[in-house]
Amino acid sequence: PRVPPNTPAKEDCIWWRNDYFIIKESALGGLGAFAAIDLDEGATILEELPLLRTNIWDVHNQFESLNDEDRELLFSLHKYHPNPEAHVFDKIRKANSFRVTDGVTMYSVTSRFNHACLPVRNVSYEIDERRGGKITLTMLQDVAKGTELTICYGGTPESLLKNFGFRCQCGGCTPLTDEEVEKM
């Protein structure tokens, strides 16, 4: 089953939670995932079916087939596209897609995880295409309660800026200088 949406609690501004982590505002930008308890390396912290699984040819049909609740979840995801004139759905797809063999998947909870490059990310993910695109998130190291949980979006600091609209500050890569950004 899909992960159901939860209304944020006004007193703590939590967007969603399970036994392992909470989704709330992040200093890295937007929402992020934070350990709700001390987590051990190897722990599975989430299994989630895609909100949407599609390919470039069927994307609008798949979107139209979503129920109202799933459509609302989709529209609550981060929006970014290098072309500011792009359609809102294309901005959502660009910022939240996970590639699979026959197209892309988008997830209502996993899409809330912020990025850190491979050397410093603390969560890995695996997509099982035989099980409908179910994504499994697993801890790569022990982390303390309150630590932000991150996955790697892939690419270089340059491609992260071009494709996702942010400058990587994870500490595991050499960040772009202001001069490099101006030249892009």
In terms of pTM, does the model score above 0.75?
Answer: yes
Residue range(s) defining the domain that contains residue 61: 14-183
Q: What's the pLDDT at 36?
A: 98
Q: Which residues contact 53 (CB under 8 A, 6 or more apart)?
A: 62, 100, 103, 104, 105, 106, 132, 133
Contact 32, 114 (CB under 8 A): yes
pLDDT tens, residue order, the chain (184 aa) = 344 444 444 446 889 999 999 999 999 888 999 999 999 999 999 999 999 998 878 877 888 899 999 999 999 999 999 899 998 888 999 999 999 998 999 999 999 999 999 999 999 999 999 999 999 999 999 999 999 999 999 999 999 999 899 999 899 999 999 999 998 8
Q: Which residues contact 157 (CB under 8 A, 6 or more apart)?
A: 167, 168, 173, 174, 175, 176
User: Rounded to an integer, what distance in angstroms lies between the CA atom of residue 104 and that of residue 19?
Assistant: 28
Q: What's the pLDDT at 9?
A: 43
Q: What is the DSSP letter of 10?
A: T
Q: What's the pLDDT at 74?
A: 93
Helix (H, G, I), strand (E, B) or coil at 48: strand
Q: What's the pLDDT at 7?
A: 42
Inside any domain, residue 34: yes
Inside any domain, residue 144: yes
Q: What's the pLDDT at 166?
A: 92
In the numeric block, the tokens 């970014």 are attached to: 80
Q: What's the pLDDT at 42?
A: 99
Inside any domain, residue 176: yes
Inside any domain, residue 1: no
Inside any domain, residue 18: yes
- Total domains present in the chain: 1
Distances (CA, A) of 149 to 69, 102, 141: 26, 28, 11
Inside any domain, residue 6: no
Q: H helices within 21-155, ranges in order?
A: 59-64, 68-75, 88-96
Distances (CA, A) of 24 to 82, 86, 183: 26, 27, 34
User: Rounded to an integer, what distance in angstroms lies between the CA atom of residue 104 and that of residue 155?
Assistant: 17
Inside any domain, residue 156: yes
User: Rounded to an integer, what distance in angstroms lies between the CA atom of residue 151 and that of residue 131?
Assistant: 21
User: At 66, which CATH number?
Assistant: 2.170.270.10
Q: What's the pLDDT at 6?
A: 44
Bridging pattern class, strands 148-151 and 114-115: parallel
Q: What's the pLDDT at 2?
A: 45
